[in-house]
Amino acid sequence: MAVSLDIHAEPGALVLDGAERADIERLVERLSDVPPRLVDHPTWLAAARDRSCRLPARVLEELRRFRSDPGPSGCLRIAGLPVRPQGPTPVEAGSVERNATASATLLALCVLQLGEIIAFRQEKAGALLQNVVPVPGQEFEQSNAGSQPLQMHVENVHLDHRPDFVSLLCLRNDHDDRAGLRVASIRQALPLVGPEHRRVLAEPRFRSTPPPSFAAGRDPVHPVLSGAAEDPDVRVDFANTHPLDSGAATAMAELRRAVEAVQTDLVLGAGDLVVVDNRVTLHGRSAFVPRYDGRDRWLQRAFVHIDHRRTRGLRTGDGNVLS
């Protein structure tokens, strides 16, 4: 059972004051007008990268600390960012944001202090900023378009060059203000997994298939835990990762129990930004009931790589989209 947690009341959240919000709002207004006013355009991205250095000092400090070490939870929470209503929640499948709207500009400003924004050509047509909204007819899909519980996962588990960070900016929550971003860190779950199961999880005895949001993709065999034994990275999607033998199935079930024991639901409101370290923290979603009336839950999402150079051969023209 997840523990419900209102992000606004959580001691670990950085809550911005009025002066900080005003400073950020001025940055957003000026950057939104930079030609060609498209968040995917290299000229606009270069301007956003430069101007991100002018964010308030507390925001810069928090982002830099998190980039260095995501801490026990693997999550960064910033509350009180200046987000205003900007029309109805989209309802179409594969919804993205290519225009430099206020919210898209705000998200880009923040995450460019963590690294470079990236996307994948086979997911949402390679758009750098994506809408996470409920889509009619897809309520039960294990994807960002669903509204039933989304199983815990690291983003794009089937890819070798997965995002280092997944960022989510809330424009509005669901009508009942109950939907939660569910998070669980392997740093907190690992002590609940026995040594033998850890050994199995560190072996290539698991296969992952692409999520529904991907047009196509490979299904690699890989370990679930990698790196330092005492502080490993995790690579699992409980909807799309499949154990290849009975021992692997038992170890994965043990890991699932550990993750469920430490997972937390973060209830987001407009202006709340959460950054998840995709190397150490799984995320998912609790259920909610969409009405498709233009006022449903609406998050905007961006992926970040710390080391842009390592994917140069996968990015045409040194752009931001991986093929």
Output the CA angle 115-282-274, nearest 5 degrees.
50
Neighbours of 309 (CB within 10 A): 9
- Tokens standing for 91? 């309802």
pTM to 2 decimals?
0.94
pLDDT computed for residue 8 by the predictor = 35
pLDDT computed for residue 213 by the predictor = 76
Q: Are strands 165-172 and 298-305 parallel, antiparallel or unpaired?
A: antiparallel
Backbone angles phi, psi at 53, to 5 degrees: -70, -10
pLDDT computed for residue 102 by the predictor = 97
Between helices 42-51 and 102-111, what is the axis angle to 10°? Answer: 60
Q: Are strands 281-285 and 180-185 parallel, antiparallel or unpaired?
A: antiparallel
Q: What CA–CA distances, in Å, run from 282 to 165, 166, 184, 207?
A: 11, 10, 5, 17
pLDDT computed for residue 12 by the predictor = 64
pLDDT computed for residue 104 by the predictor = 97
The tens place of each residue's pLDDT in the chain, 323 residues long, gives 444 444 333 446 899 999 999 999 999 999 999 999 999 999 999 999 999 999 999 999 999 999 999 999 999 999 999 998 679 999 999 999 999 999 999 999 999 999 999 999 999 999 999 999 999 999 999 998 899 999 999 999 999 999 999 999 999 999 999 999 999 999 999 999 999 999 999 999 999 998 877 867 789 999 999 999 999 999 999 999 999 999 999 999 999 999 999 999 999 999 999 999 999 999 999 999 999 999 999 999 999 999 999 999 999 999 999 99
Neighbours of 137 (CB within 10 A): 8
What distance in Å separates the CA atoms of residue 233 and residue 185, rounded to the nearest whole number? Answer: 10
* SS3 at position 253: helix
Comparing CA positions, the residue from 196, 193, 122, 186 lying closest to residue 159 is: 122
* Contacts (Cβ under 8 Å, ≥6 apart) of 143: 150, 211, 212, 213
